[in-house]
Amino acid sequence: MAVILTSLFRRAAPPLVGIDLSASSVKVVELQRGERASMRLERYAIEPLERGAITDGNIQNPDAVAEALQRALRKCGTRAREAALALPSGAVITKKIMLPAGLSEEDYELQVETEASQYIPFPIEEVNLDFRVMGPAEVSPEEVDVLLAASRKEKVDDRVAVAEMAGLHPVVMDVEPYAMRAAVDHVIDFMPNGGQGQVVAVFSIGQAVTYMTVVLNRQTVFEREQSFGGQLLTQDLVRMYGLTPEEAELKKRSGDLPDNYQRDLLQPFVEQASTEIGRAIQFFFTSTPYTRIDHILLAGGSSVLPGLAESVTRRTQIPAEVMSPFQGMEIAGTVRERQLRSDAPSLLVAAGLAMRRFDA
């Protein structure tokens, strides 16, 4: 019998820290209720991760990841022990199905288990399942749309084990694109008229992959993943200046590089990134009924590179800006706001996970 992923779509009790385990770093975010705003960024930390500890979303070195997580927890000073984590999209199978309306929770679980076996290419006893009833089905008022999510047990267990090794109690296991969308929705809410009627394209530039998500009226209308990321610039730094990959990542963030860096490496990378984003937008136009994008939001560690937002605007003729998931939030006095401006765009997943504390 399949094990239900008890918290993939369900609420978590506070206090809660959102934890993003990426290929290059561990990111921790804790949010609290604000006095003048709905949320306050209480603390956060980013801790570098040794190369190869996480590869293609798979945890290869649990001890190294747990140690980096412990360092991040100490650095930010959180006392929260409950944690929200996320699986990469490649580790999760999602499928929208229709089931009869009005069933009990137990009956839905049985129905989901039965239906899941048709879509999952693994023995059902080797996966964790969860589901969410999304509402009445458009084509049949007597049925409801149900979002089914399934992941191999070891994928979930690996992340749970790392959190527990760091002294945490995982209570939410989400999916990275869903966590990112929570942060994106929060930001769009601060656009004029809450972003209603606006076609917003979000580009999250990761280490090796850039994710494109297009949102209209809180609905995802397009998603695409392309092989382009900040590691290309890191590799150029290693090659040109004889740095280790870890040194290159640090110097890329600090800008502590020779005078020819901007001309020979940074500007070509920015142009390449703008070209990739422009191509993705053209693909969106040619493969969907949509003919416009009103706004571009840039996220991920590479989004803060000098000149990128301006270059994307020139290339696409669409207003582009670097986004922060903490827009409209109070910021605790212990958070260094200057550093936060640089770090915030890489904290979308961790922030979205931390927002699960406020689920209704």
Separation between Cα atoms, residue 123 and residue 63, nearest integer Å: 29
Residues 163, 80 contacting (CB under 8 angstroms): no
Residue 125 has pLDDT above 90, yes or no: no
The dotted CATH code for 90-153 is: 3.30.1490.300
* CA angle, 210 then 43 then 6, to 5°: 65
9, pLDDT greater than 70 = no
Residues 148, 115 contacting (CB under 8 angstroms): yes
Residue 155 structure tokens: 């994928």
What are the pLDDT digits (tens) for 261-310? 999 999 999 999 999 999 999 999 999 999 999 999 999 989 999 999 99
Q: What is the mean pLDDT of the chain?
A: 91
Residue 282: its pLDDT value, please? 97
pLDDT given at position 360: 52
Q: Is the peptide bond before 289 cis (omega within 30 degrees of 0)?
A: no
Q: What are the tokens at 147?
A: 């979002």
pLDDT by residue (tens digit) across 194-210? Answer: 999 999 999 999 888 89
Banded model confidence at residue 56, pLDDT cuts 50, 70, 90: confident
Strands 54-55 and 40-48: unpaired
* Model confidence at 238: pLDDT above 50: yes
Q: Which two tokens stand for residue 173?
A: 């296991």
Among the listed residues 51, 59, 46, the one whose alpha carbon sits nearest the alpha carbon of residue 20: 46
pLDDT over 90 at 124, yes or no: no
- pLDDT for position 12: 45
More confident site: 28 or 245: 28
Higher pLDDT, 135 or 323: 323
- The fraction of the chain above a pLDDT of 90, given in percent, is 68
Which amino acid type is present at position 267?
Q
Residues 6+ apart with CB under 8 A from 56: 90
Separation CA 126–CA 3 (nearest Å): 9
Where in the sequence of the chain do the CATH 3.30.420.40 domains occur? 7-88+155-181+331-358, 191-324
Each residue's pLDDT tens digit, 130-149: 888 888 888 888 999 888 88
Higher per-residue confidence, 29 vs 135? 29
Q: Inform me whether the pLDDT recorded for 3 exceeds 80.
A: no
The band of 14, judged by pLDDT with boundaries at 50, 70 and 90, is low
Parallel, antiparallel or unpaired: strands 82-87 and 169-175 = parallel
More confident residue, 225 or 8: 225
Q: Give residue 330's pLDDT.
A: 97
Predicted pLDDT at 1? 33
What is the band of 356 on the pLDDT scale with cuts at 50, 70, 90? very high
**Is residue 35's pLDDT more than 80?**
yes
Q: End-to-end distance of the chain based on CA atoms, in angstroms?
A: 30
Q: Does domain 7-88+155-181+331-358 have CATH number 3.90.45.10?
A: no
How much is the average pLDDT of 324-344? 95
Write down how long the chain is.
360
Distance from C-alpha of 265 to C-alpha of 281, rounded to nearest angstrom: 25
CA dist., res. 226 & res. 280, Å (int): 8
Residues near 284 by Cβ (< 8 Å), separated by ≥ 6? 201, 212, 214, 222, 224, 290, 293
Just give the CATH number of 191-324: 3.30.420.40
Quote the CA–CA distance of 280 and 271 in Å, as a whole number.
14
Asked if the model's pLDDT at residue 4 lies above 50, the reply is no
Section 159-178 average pLDDT = 94
Banded model confidence at residue 73, pLDDT cuts 50, 70, 90: very high
Query: Looking at the chain, which residues constitute the CATH 3.30.1490.300 domain(s)?
Result: 90-153
Name the band, by pLDDT with cuts 50, 70 and 90, for residue 189. Answer: very high
- Residue 255: pLDDT band (50, 70, 90) is confident
For the beta sheet containing 320-322, the strands, ordered from the edge strand earlier in sequence to the opposite edge, are 219-226, 210-216, 199-205, 295-299, 320-322
The residue-averaged pLDDT of 66-87 equals 96
When pLDDT is averaged across residues 5-27 and rounded to a whole number, the result is 75
Do 306 and 6 form a contact (C-beta atoms < 8 A)?
A: no
What is the SS3 string spanning the chain? Answer: CCEECCCCCCCCCCCCEEEEECCCEEEEEEEECCCCCCCEEEEEEEEECCCCCEECCEECCHHHHHHHHHHHHHHHCCCCCEEEEEECHHHEEEEEEEEECCCCHHHHHHHHHHHHCCCCCCCHHHEEEEEEEEEECCCCCCEEEEEEEEEEHHHHHHHHHHHHHCCCEEEEEEEHHHHHHHHHHHHHCCCHHHHCCCEEEEEEECCCCEEEEEEECCEEEEEEEECCCCHHHHHHHHHHHCCCHHHHHHHHHHCCCCCCHHHHHHHHHHHHHHHHHHHHHHHHHHHCCCCCCCEEEEECHHHHCCCHHHHHHHHHCCCEEECCCCCCCEECCCCCHHHHHHHHHHCHHHHHHHHHHHCC
Percentage of the chain lying above the pLDDT 70 cut: 96
Q: What is the mean pLDDT of residues 154-160?
A: 95
Q: Scanning the structure block, which residue is given the tokens 């199978």?
A: 93
Predicted pLDDT of residue 6: 47
